[in-house]
Amino acid sequence: MSTLKKNFIIGFIWSFIGQISYLIIALVTNIILARILSPYEFGQVGIVMFFILISKVLTESGLTGALVRKKEVSEEDFSTVFVFNLVISVVLFIILLLFSGIIADFYNNKLLQNVLIALSSVLIINAFQFTQNAKIIRDLKFKKQSIYTLVSVIISSVIGIVLAFLKYGVWALVIMQISNAFILTLIYWVFEEPTKSFVFNKNSFKYLYKFGINTTFASMINSISDNIYNLILGKYFSIHYTGLYYQAKKLQEIPVGIVKSSTLGVVFSTLSKLQDNRVEFGRFYVRIATIFTTIVGLICLLVFFYAEQSILLLYGGKWIKAAFFVKILILASYFYMQEMLNRVLFKVFDKTDKILYLEIIKSVIQLISVIVGVILLDLKVLLYGFLITSIISYFFNYYFSRSIYGNFSWMEVITVLKVITIAIFLNYTLTKIAKILNLCGYELFYVLPFLIILYFILTKICHVVDIISETKIILKQIKKK
């Protein structure tokens, strides 16, 4: 058991290093591109990415998670997944190719047709890396995964920036994404063992897809719900607003993405190996959930408090209206991240059908808010509806995840509410203090150290977590390695 814990810690550290490095590079690249390109050009990509992201979900179909979770995996399983991914990606590429003209006409923007066709090629390219990626995750080789990802993003970022300086406009963004997918796939095929056969086993597919089908539909619904605003803003408001929203979302996803990508994959892989030991499983999950909530809470507080300053500092004055989008999105992210952690339990105990049902409920609630926002043509109504949906969805997911786990308690919810209360209190208090001291603009960064220190002091006082003690425990386990 201690070996598993050590593997988790090492895996988490490398995953964290990889993700934070990746997102820092992506942030720097995005800053440079945002200062060269306009919100309108980002808006064009934002609209197209709605269709690409949904297609990516369908291509992967939850089979990577199924391969990771399965106790014994054969080469035939990997081959089956590879064949399925490749066939589906080609089919989806053809569908997007046929409908690209209609989509472009809907937005009265002919350029969208070529942009959509070009970005659709990413689907086929990615199909050649899914199985190798699954093997790496399954074996907890997050160091390799991090290195591969960093190499691809560095090269593709340089390509995108050079093209932007050469006045390629929206095509700089398009080619950057295509090159990133191609380079990463090439690295996987050079340094990782490719699929040895081209065989499709029906029995293997049925077993794996039984796990993947529910997560696929749930992920697809989630992707639609999460990115539908790109389409709505572009059609009923303007492509310029789509660009602001798209950029705000990318900024919001950077800190949240670090925690999500570096934590959830490692937690799922580790919990899958602990599923037969409920006592150890429970202890591990409670500790991770508490630390996870505390870290996410701090990140959301910092992003919300410094939204305007971050936009001005990173992107410049032409993007300042994106600050409102950032604030709403980061508030919703706090509850969304709790929801994602709870969903790990559904996957571990093979109850992914519940994820689908919960995602449908979430989408219905969100659809109502979207319809109201469109009818009123009110951006605030549209986005506040998104926030309310995230809050309601979290409580639904928490309740049903605990009913499956068989250890229902409101303690985790209380922890979540304690953290959000601490964040609200600090945001309100420090905002008032800043006004009294006449701090404005970048001067607000003077209170950053106090904000972080007060946050951890209050989390300890409110019996959320003692971050110092938890850090010592983790460091001791690392030293024993």
Residues 424-444 have a mean pLDDT of 87
What are the φ and ψ backbone dihedral angles of 479, each rounded to 5 degrees?
A: -65, -30
Nearest to 385 by CA among 367, 403, 410: 367
* pLDDT for 44: 94
If one counts every other C-beta atom within 10 angstroms of the C-beta of residue 53, the result is 16
**Rounded CA gap, 120 and 99, in Å?**
12
* pLDDT for 111: 94
33, amino acid identity: L
Is residue 133's pLDDT more than 80?
A: yes
Give the rounded percent of residues in the chain with a pLDDT score beyond 70: 91
Most confidently modeled range among 209-218, 363-372, 442-451:
363-372
The token duo for 42 is: 């980002």
Structural contact between residues 118 and 130, judged by C-beta atoms closer than 8 angstroms? no
* pLDDT for 97: 95
Q: Please provide the size of the chain in residues.
A: 481
pLDDT confidence band for 477 (50 / 70 / 90): very low
Nearest to 50 by CA among 247, 231, 242, 237: 231
**Rounded CA gap, 157 and 171, in Å?**
13
As a whole number, the mean pLDDT across the chain is: 85
What are the φ and ψ backbone dihedral angles of 75, each rounded to 5 degrees?
A: -65, -30
Higher pLDDT, 42 or 142: 42
**Rounded CA gap, 369 and 380, in Å?**
11
Residues 128-134 have a mean pLDDT of 84
Structural contact between residues 368 and 395, judged by C-beta atoms closer than 8 angstroms? no
pLDDT confidence band for 258 (50 / 70 / 90): confident
**Rounded CA gap, 239 and 218, in Å?**
28
Give the rounded percent of residues in the chain with a pLDDT score beyond 90: 40
pLDDT confidence band for 481 (50 / 70 / 90): very low
Contacts of 428 (CB under 8 A, 6+ apart): none
Domain span at residue 238 reads 2-479
Higher pLDDT, 74 or 245: 245
pLDDT in tens, 150-195: 999 999 999 999 999 999 999 999 999 999 999 999 999 888 877 7
Work out how many domains the chain is built from and give that number.
Answer: 1
Is residue 81's pLDDT more than 90?
A: no
Residues 291-318 have a mean pLDDT of 91
Give the range among 53-67, 97-111, 302-316 with minimum mean pLDDT.
53-67
Residues 343-357 have a mean pLDDT of 79
Is residue 353's pLDDT more than 80?
A: no
The token duo for 317 is: 């004055």
Sign of CA dihedral 410, 412, 416, 419: positive
Give the range among 40-54, 120-134, 318-332, 393-407 with minimum mean pLDDT.
393-407
Residues 17-27 have a mean pLDDT of 81
CA–CA distances in Å: residue 320 to residues 310, 326, 369: 9, 10, 25
Nearest to 421 by CA among 373, 476, 459: 459
Structural contact between residues 459 and 467, judged by C-beta atoms closer than 8 angstroms? yes
460, amino acid identity: K
pLDDT in tens, 87-129: 999 999 999 999 999 999 999 999 999 999 999 999 999 999 8
Structural contact between residues 275 and 29, judged by C-beta atoms closer than 8 angstroms? no
Residues 8-35 have a mean pLDDT of 80
* pLDDT for 472: 64
**Rounded CA gap, 202 and 206, in Å?**
6
Residues 137-160 have a mean pLDDT of 86
**Rounded CA gap, 117 and 138, in Å?**
33
* pLDDT for 276: 65
pLDDT confidence band for 408 (50 / 70 / 90): low
Residue listed under structure tokens 């607003």: 241
* pLDDT for 141: 74
Give the range among 1-15, 50-64, 209-223, 408-422 with minimum mean pLDDT.
1-15
DSSP state of 192: S
CA–CA distances in Å: residue 380 to residues 238, 303, 322, 387: 15, 19, 13, 11
